[in-house]
Amino acid sequence: MKDDASSVLYRDPARTADERAEDLLARMTLEEKVAQMLCIWQQKSAALVDERGRFDMAKAEAYFASGHGIGQVGRPSDAGGGLTARQMAETTNDIQRFFVERSRLGIPVIFHEECLHGHAAPEGTSFPQPIGLGATFDPELVERLYTMTAAEARARGTHQALTPVVDVAREPRWGRVEETFGEDPYLVARMGVAAVRGFQGDASFAGKTRVIATLKHFAAHGQPESGTNCAPANVSMRVLREVFLPTFKAAIQEAGAMSVMPAYNEIDGVPAHANRWLLQDVLRREWGFEGFVVSDYFAIRELNERPEFFGHHVARDGKAAAALAVATGVDIELPDPDCYLHLAELVREGTVPESVIDERVRPMLRAKFRLGLFDDPYVDPAEAERIVREPSHRDLALEAARKTITLLKNDRGALPIDPLAIRTIAIIGPNADRVMLGGYSGEPLHSSTVLQAIRDRLPAGVEVLYHEGCKITVGGSWSQDEVTPSDPEEDRRSIAQAAAVAARADLVILAIGDNEQTSREAWALNHLGDRPDLDLVGRQNELVDAIAATGVPMVTLLFSGRPASARNVVAKAAAVLELWYLGQESGRAVADVLVGDVCPGGKLPITIPRSAGHVPAYYNYKPSARRGYLFDSADPLFAFGFGLSYTSFRFASPRLERTEIGIGESTRVLVDVTNTGARRGDEVVQLYIRDVVSSVTRPVKELKGFKRVTLEPGETARVGFEITPELLAFYDIDMLFRVEPGEFRLMVGSSSRDADLQTMTLSVRG
């Protein structure tokens, strides 16, 4: 029987979240506390919902007969094979009502969802993958997109997004590159801060339009050994501190991220879910994190052994894994009740003090109070149905797709296309008539392919031909576990037919690259996605050769989840556009750029190497790292920050307000950028810094500022960057984060290439 609400502090909305959490915690039994550290996901069909994904009272009463409740319910959108916005809102309301009314203390649940690039649910708006958003170099856009995502997800009952990924991707063979904002810690940090602000706002959660953001994967997940997912991160403490931790620190200290997910990996032999230094010393004590830590799916079990996948073998069984993880600082086990079912037993036998359980539960209760779940836990199904159909959301997805597109090559002005000068155009390739959203995607209400969008955009008098050319894999869906290579002979017959089609055209648009199987998260041995090379899969290079042999000009569209070492394509195409995955408005955005309605302005958020043998290829390398190769260049195919335009820009000589400062002082660098072409266009002004002489070796250059500007023909913009001690500091020979006196080289320009940069010298007095 519940306590009288009028006499219970935790039910009083006038009290603070901290006060209410402490009062509630004091009233909870050990079993009720442990229940808050559990989640249910795949077991929903046995415990909460029927075959249609709707709430089932009989199942719930049987499964949760103890009345202890549960902490979270995972991904309600996938119940019953997928719920519409209205259906999900109704189901989450029913599940929530059950726990509020049937558990002893009436503790509501948190519903979490995947929101990598939009709510990954039926009817959720889908925008470009994060690697594409990194290419926009536009944090303000990223904040707006995740604000939109939060509103859609919260209207359906979601409270927590397992996003953003703030891993720094320094290993392009890794299948999860698409989930990151790129290879540079400064860029990833700026985008991560923007994403958290979009999800959480001011974290008051007023109006029920925001959700808790979850930073992942903590830490160094983006440079796995051999490029394979979950492999060890073999990095030094200095690299960890300077490359992989700053993105998390910024998102916590600047944006107030309320949740963190440890990585599957290990650092120096210690798995992240068992790393007290990482989760206690750094995260909580050093950075002051007050939120809660969620396990990655099945990662606590993997401290022992996850059948048919892998194990770290630092715990002898699931019970020992639970003791290790809870002592380390993992507050809740996702996705289903497993190892943490042993927690009450571990407390009773004296292995785990109940005070540790209290420490783990407290921040999760506090979050539920901050979310307002004890006061108004329900959503309006009509509003959920309305908001996913909000026209402005589709417009925003289109804006993001347009800003993502990056022009890598454009010989003799091959682009934009003049529709009046073309009678026949051939759209060829395995990605020409395919909706590709990438990993962790939902089923948006709208989608467009390149073929359909070009047909819609070109005048009626232009004949549009189409041929698939070849396959990449058979099927190719992200969720399709088995990867079946295409048949070589069938491909070659198809390539010959495609070449015949191309020969009839004035121009070929060739859409190739990855599909959703050839670059994806490898979450099991039967669902792989990491690759030992970066070449185009299958017979795509043969297709390129056949089209090039026709002599018809070829514009190539590269869809990809990670960099493709497409040297053959670059050599033979008149123009190359890097698209990554553009989301639901993919075709529309591509058509807009091809015909010149939109001027491409994206920049590469990650280096494109010449081959897998050139890995690592990130731009911010140490001075001794790129001395050269026998028979090949050590330079990348395309550099970080690179991207062309249909217009041209001139950078005036940059200038420092003060060329000499003391340690602890700041100055500013200013540069005027002019659009010298005939089209409205975007340029990304980039600032790089190098400490010239230092106590430990420093990268040849590091991004420390950027600004995307839109300029009309003839227009000039003045861009300024504040040069603060934080931008000049590094971990010195004694592992102290400080500024060393001496000279600093400041470089300003349009990419990380030396040829695109102008240099100044700043002197710092000791």
Distance CA(404)–CA(190), nearest Å, equals 16
Alpha carbon distances (Å) from 751 to 570, 639, 645, 687, 705:
19, 7, 13, 9, 12
Contact 624, 647 (CB under 8 A): no
Integer Rg of the chain from CA: 27
Which DSSP letter does residue 611 get? S
Distance CA(680)–CA(601), nearest Å, equals 10
Task: Provide the sign of the torsion angle of the four alpha carbons 453, 457, 460, 466, taken in this order.
Answer: negative
Which residues, in sequence order, are bridge partners of residue 718? 672
Q: Which residues contact 539 (CB under 8 A, 6 or more apart)?
A: 470, 486, 488, 491, 492, 495
Angle made by CA atoms 96, 98, 103, in degrees to the nearest 5:
105
Q: Which residues contact 236 (CB under 8 A, 6 or more apart)?
A: none
Annotation says 296 is catalytic: yes
Phi, psi of 546 (to 5 degrees): -65, -40
Which one of the listed residues 78, 296, 336, 682 is annotated catalytic?
Answer: 296
Alpha carbon distances (Å) from 204 to 207, 208, 213, 294:
9, 9, 13, 21
**Token couple for 631:** 């028979």
- Is 19 exposed, middle or buried, given 0-12, 13-18 or 19+ CB atoms closer than 10 A? middle
Q: Which residues contact 715 (CB under 8 A, 6 or more apart)?
A: 674, 675
Distance CA(731)–CA(696), nearest Å, equals 8
Distance CA(686)–CA(706), nearest Å, equals 4
Angle made by CA atoms 557, 561, 565, in degrees to the nearest 5:
65
Largest CA distance in the chain: 83
Which residues, in sequence order, are bridge partners of residue 580? 559
Q: Which residues contact 264 (CB under 8 A, 6 or more apart)?
A: 217, 221, 229, 230, 271, 272, 296, 299, 302
Which residues form the catalytic set? 296
